[in-house]
Amino acid sequence: MTYLDALILGAVQGLTEFLPVSSSGHLEIGKALLGDQSIPQESLLFTVVVHFATALSTIVVFRKDIVEILKGLLQFQWNDEFKFSLKIILSMVPAAFIGFVFSDELESLFSGDLPLVGFMLIVTALLLWLADRAKDTVKEVSFKSAFVIGVAQAIAILPGISRSGATIATSVLLGIDRGRAARFSFLMVVPLILGKMAKDILSGEISPEMNNLGILIAGFSSAFIFGVLACTWMIALVKKSKLSYFGVYCFIVGVLCIVFGYY
């Protein structure tokens, strides 16, 4: 992977993280198009690094919300902030469990398997199509719905299943209004990514002595810059636009991935 490749893939991650089109799926597509021959572990490492960059961009954009969440935890009072904090923690459990138990199996999926990405993008398209037909309500996120949304996030570990698409679609299908669904979707992933980064650092997977450190820094910087720009501009687009538009896009890209993957 060259520096230009890293910058391009970082930009792809930053731009697609906040739209329901699967950033991980687009990263795998980008790697396949750029001819990336990295072994699965290195490929997953780059994916984790650029996901951390967009998590940091989320922290920058949602800094006020995150401060309220932290205050809720530290005050330890049964108020709205504390309950929201607990819901965020609860939503992390399914993905954290899957990531811990099936880490080796997950690594093998990030190897540029276009047909797999294609089929998963079509699943994402179906989710968005179903959510677009759900009735709009003003329902808030409950503890039960937080866990169900967390299950959707765990399934979205698969490349091609959009994390934001799966969590927002699940929220809408549960009757939660789109504004709250988008806010919860973007906030719930931050501690999960930070936890994953901490695990990788402690395990020695990420080290300053790595030969490709410059490549990782380039990808991180690109993903962070584009993540901040995309987050501030596209969150409103996610909330206001029809999800089926993104569903059509995912379906078309998914079919193309399957065709090019097999032929």
Best mean pLDDT range from 9-13, 34-38, 162-166: 162-166
- CA-based angle 35:161:133, to the nearest 5? 140
- Our measurement of the distance from residue 206's CA atom to the centroid of its chain's CA atoms, rounded to an integer in Å, reads 20
Through-space distance between the first and last CA atoms of the chain, rounded to whole angstroms:
24
- Our measurement of the distance from residue 118's CA atom to the centroid of its chain's CA atoms, rounded to an integer in Å, reads 17
For the residues of 77-126, what is the DSSP string, one character each? -SSHHHHHHHHHHHHHHHHHHHHHHSHHHHHTTTTT-HHHHHHHHHHHHH
Is the pLDDT higher at 185 or at 210? Answer: 185
**52 has a pLDDT exceeding 90:** no
Question: What span, in angstroms and rounded, lies between the C-alpha atoms of 92 and 188?
Answer: 7
Query: Going by C-beta distance under 8 Å and a sequence separation of 6 or more, which residues neighbour residue 99?
Result: 106, 157, 196
pLDDT value of position 41: 47
Which H helix or E strand runs over 158?
Answer: none
- CA-based angle 55:61:107, to the nearest 5? 10
Q: What is the tens place of the pLDDT at every residue in 58-111? A: 899 888 888 887 877 787 778 888 888 899 999 999 988 887 787 777 776 766
**29 has a pLDDT exceeding 50:** yes
Domain edges within the chain? 3-262
Question: What span, in angstroms and rounded, lies between the C-alpha atoms of 212 and 222?
Answer: 16
Q: What are 2's two structure tokens?
A: 């060259």
Instruction: Quickly state the pLDDT bin for 232 (edges 50, 70, 90).
Output: confident
Is the pLDDT higher at 75 or at 21? Answer: 21
Contact 24, 257 (CB under 8 A): no
Q: Is 176 helix (H, G, I), strand (E, B) or coil?
A: strand
pLDDT value of position 139: 86
Question: What span, in angstroms and rounded, lies between the C-alpha atoms of 223 and 218?
Answer: 9
pLDDT value of position 143: 95
Q: What is the tens place of the pLDDT at every residue in 142-190? A: 999 999 999 999 999 888 899 888 999 999 899 898 888 888 988 888 8
Instruction: Quickly state the pLDDT bin for 14 (edges 50, 70, 90).
Output: confident
Q: Is 139 helix (H, G, I), strand (E, B) or coil?
A: strand
